[in-house]
């Protein structure tokens, strides 16, 4: 693990690191905020997954999470959204596909399968590195994210309920099978058989029997992607009749930006901390 930068913030440490990933076959960059309490004891880990076009840096620079994370004693891990590098497949004119748009899945189709193994990277490889290099209590993990990252957080939680104790999302893509900005990418990553897409779709996972105790979802009503890309009411419908507890909060005048995310970031951190102990 290489240290790219370390800065003191609110008594803790905001670091940016890189390492050679076996899952993606590339160098991967990620950010970690370590609260001051970690000097004395292991602390809970909260994973933040970013959205399309983002890197590890977007939430680190705009998310305004450090003060509350330091107060609550939360380690916050912010991975990149895709593999990077000159040899990594990409579509330069398509921001919904390729670099910055890994969709938190394991691609099966050529040429994407060679490097786009983000599900394995997020759920297996990077957690092992965090456990090894930081004073992290891996028995207390939560996960949240924004947009594509909200999709990633919800599907990963649904598929790994024994690992995560909490999950929330800002404006998540709850149904990539039907969202206008994910169908093209899913077909290229996973092939034309839409049945294979279901393991990376929160609504489909619930319909197929996956369970997670509860979700917190915040969504802006002025979000330009609301109707055709996000549609949180589809997840609300999917969980009806199950034992999944969904808190869906719709907010007037808020859009899809980090102004929206930073407004409700403290709510999410407190929500996770209450469940992580």
Kindly state the percentage of the chain with pLDDT values over 90: 100
Q: Is residue 43 a contact partner of residue 13, using CB atoms and an 8 Å limit? A: no
End-to-end CA gap in the chain: 29
How far is Cα 85 from Cα 25, in angstroms, rounded to an integer?
10
* pLDDT (tens digit per residue) in 34-76: 999 999 999 999 999 999 999 999 999 999 999 999 999 999 9
Average pLDDT over residues 231-242: 98
Average pLDDT over residues 89-118: 97
The dihedral over CA atoms of 40, 153, 52, 220, expressed in degrees to the nearest 10, equals: -100
pLDDT at residue 88, as a whole number: 97
Alpha carbon separation from 237 to 127, 132, 203, 246 (Å, rounded): 32, 40, 9, 10
Catalytic residue positions?
Answer: 147, 223, 256
C-alpha of 156 from chain center: 8
pLDDT at residue 11, as a whole number: 98
pLDDT at residue 29, as a whole number: 98
pTM exceeds cut of 0.85: yes
* pLDDT (tens digit per residue) in 157-170: 999 999 999 999 99
pLDDT at residue 68, as a whole number: 98
Alpha carbon separation from 152 to 8, 31, 71, 239 (Å, rounded): 29, 17, 27, 18
3-state secondary structure of 202: helix
């Amino acid at each position: 693990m290489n240290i790219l930068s370390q800065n003191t913030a609110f008594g803790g440490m905001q670091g940016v690191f890189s390492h050679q990933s076996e899952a993606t076959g590339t160098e991967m960059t990620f950010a970690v905020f370590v609260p001051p309490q970690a000097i004395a004891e292991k602390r809970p880990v909260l994973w933040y997954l970013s959205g399309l076009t983002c890197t590890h840096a977007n939430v680190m620079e705009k998310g305004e999470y450090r003060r509350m994370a330091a107060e609550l004693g939360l380690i916050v891990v912010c991975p990149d959204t895709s593999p990077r590098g000159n040899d990594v497949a990409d579509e330069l004119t398509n921001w919904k596909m390729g670099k910055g748009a890994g969709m938190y899945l394991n691609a099966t189709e050529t040429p994407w399968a060679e490097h786009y193994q983000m599900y394995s990277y997020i759920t297996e490889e990077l957690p092992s590195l965090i456990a090894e290099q930081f004073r992290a209590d891996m028995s207390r993990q939560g996960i949240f994210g924004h947009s594509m990252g909200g999709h990633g957080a919800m599907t990963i939680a649904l598929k790994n309920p024994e690992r995560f104790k909490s999950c929330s999302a800002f404006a998540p893509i709850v149904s990539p099978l039907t969202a206008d900005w994910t169908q093209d990418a899913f077909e290229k990553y996973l092939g034309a058989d839409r049945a294979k897409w279901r393991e990376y779709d929160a609504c489909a996972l619930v319909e197929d029997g996956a369970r997670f105790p509860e979700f917190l979802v915040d969504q802006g009503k002025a979000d330009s992607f609301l109707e055709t890309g996000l549609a949180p009411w589809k997840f609300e419908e999917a969980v009806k009749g199950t034992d999944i507890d969904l808190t869906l909060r719709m907010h007037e005048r808020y859009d899809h930006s980090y102004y929206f995310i930073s407004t409700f970031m403290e709510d999410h951190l407190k929500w996770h901390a209450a469940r992580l102990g």
